[in-house]
Amino acid sequence: MAPYLKEFDLYEPQGVDGLQFPTQKIAVVGSGSWGTALARISALNAAEKKGFDHEVRMWVHENENSGQGPHENPRYLPDVSLPNNLVAISELSDVVKDATLIVLVFPRQFLTFILEELSKPGVLTPGARAISAIRGIEVAGEQIYTFPWLIEKKLGIPCSALVHSIEDVAGVSLSGALKNVVALAAGFVDGMGYGGNTKAAILRVGLLEMTAFTKEFFPSSSSITFSHHSASVADLITSSFEGRNRKCAEAFIKTGKTFAQLEDELLKGQKLPGVVTAEEIYRFLQVRGRTEGYPLLTKVYKISFESMDPKRLFNDL
């Protein structure tokens, strides 16, 4: 993998205006299943590694979950103990106080509120950096944006995407969003009772469309991101066999229930990122006049929102 992975020196926060940061302090903004898992890993590493403040703070939306204990998140990460140095706090400004590394991992519907709060004077520490683990993209008419780009623009701090050391932030961000739409297609296949060969064919088309879409609208991105990195092909495979988008899409076909009903029944009210992204991508392609160039992405939307016969998924692919 040497030609495809770039080596970086370990990040060391630099002083700003004469201020020195002897250690890095981590804050995690988000406490869902993904956010709690990342907060747990961050806290375990911070306790063991030199150069890190041992305390890691995690933002929780519900006030009753804040404080030192209990050290578990039974709703989103049941039966997993959390380290004692991970502290849940409901006040966002307290979570990021003095933090030099801020992991943003929350449902996209909170993005506007959180960025508004973090952009207030004095909330962020000078020299802080952000890492986005938010799934999806932002579409505004004919324009499409990645969350790291939006975060950098709003907060004025560097922001990367959560992945191993590669520089293709756009490719990583788009693959993380689009694979959820393809996972819906995989779930439709399962719901119709087709086998592994059929699903493999759909994944192949899906990966091609993911790559083509990103290269068309983010020309600086790299095709290698989609073929060589876990953020794309590996994540696509996992999501299409085990993920919640696949699970709910299968139930969508078998039960005839809406995705809103299935979110309540199967996900305890959590939102499916694939459904949101499918609609946004379709609207974007409509405005750009490019729906015919992405038949799989288009059909996933139409099956999900316009009652298209799911068996038409395979037409013209």
Q: What's the average model confidence in pLDDT over 192-200?
A: 96
Res. 158: pLDDT tops 60: yes
Q: Are residues 90 and 221 in the same domain?
A: no
Question: Is 31 a known ligand-binding residue?
Answer: yes
**Which of the listed residues 109, 134, 159 is the one where a domain comes to its end?**
134
Res. 72: pLDDT tops 90: no
Q: What's the average model confidence in pLDDT over 73-94?
A: 90
The pLDDT score that the predictor gives to residue 77 is 85
The pLDDT score that the predictor gives to residue 108 is 85
Q: What's the average model confidence in pLDDT over 206-225?
A: 91
How far apart are alpha carbons 144 and 10 in whole angstroms? 31
Work out the percent of the chain whose per-residue pLDDT is above 90: 65
The pLDDT score that the predictor gives to residue 317 is 79
The pLDDT score that the predictor gives to residue 8 is 45
Q: Are residues 122 and 252 in the same domain?
A: no
Model confidence band, residue 50 (pLDDT cutoffs 50, 70, 90): confident
CATH number at residue 241: 1.10.1040.10
CA atoms within 13 A on the CB side of 34: 15
Question: Is 34 a known ligand-binding residue?
Answer: yes
Residue 199: φ, ψ to 5°: -65, -40
Which residues are annotated as catalytic?
179
The pLDDT score that the predictor gives to residue 9 is 52
Residue 243 placed within a domain? yes
Q: Are residues 289 and 236 in the same domain?
A: yes
> What is the total count of domains within the chain?
2
Res. 157: pLDDT tops 90: yes
Q: Are residues 214 and 88 in the same domain?
A: no
Q: Are residues 114 and 176 in the same domain?
A: no
Residue 157 placed within a domain? no
Residue 59 placed within a domain? yes
pLDDT in tens, 271-288: 888 999 999 999 999 999
Q: Are residues 111 and 236 in the same domain?
A: no
Model confidence band, residue 2 (pLDDT cutoffs 50, 70, 90): very low
| Structural contact between residues 147 and 136, judged by C-beta atoms closer than 8 angstroms | yes
CA distances from 98 to 36, 62, 222 (A): 21, 23, 35
**Which of the listed residues 113, 134, 155 is the one where a domain comes to its end?**
134
The pLDDT score that the predictor gives to residue 1 is 43
Low-confidence winner among 14-28, 96-110, 196-210, 231-245 (lowest mean pLDDT): 14-28
Distance of CA 152 to the CA centre of its chain: 16
Q: Cβ contacts of residue 223 below 8 Å, gap of 6+?
A: 211, 215
Which pTM does this prediction carry?
Answer: 0.75
Which range marks the domain in which residue 260 is found? 169-314
Q: What's the average model confidence in pLDDT over 48-52?
A: 89
Residue 186 placed within a domain? yes
Residue 183 CB burial class (10 angstroms; 0-12, 13-18, ≥19): buried
Question: Is 110 a known ligand-binding residue?
Answer: yes
Q: Are residues 197 and 244 in the same domain?
A: yes
The pLDDT score that the predictor gives to residue 290 is 97
Residue 161 CB burial class (10 angstroms; 0-12, 13-18, ≥19): buried
Question: Is 165 a known ligand-binding residue?
Answer: no
Average pLDDT over the chain reads 87
Question: Is 33 a known ligand-binding residue?
Answer: yes
Question: Is 30 a known ligand-binding residue?
Answer: yes
The pLDDT score that the predictor gives to residue 168 is 80
Q: Are residues 128 and 187 in the same domain?
A: no
CATH number at residue 59: 3.40.50.720
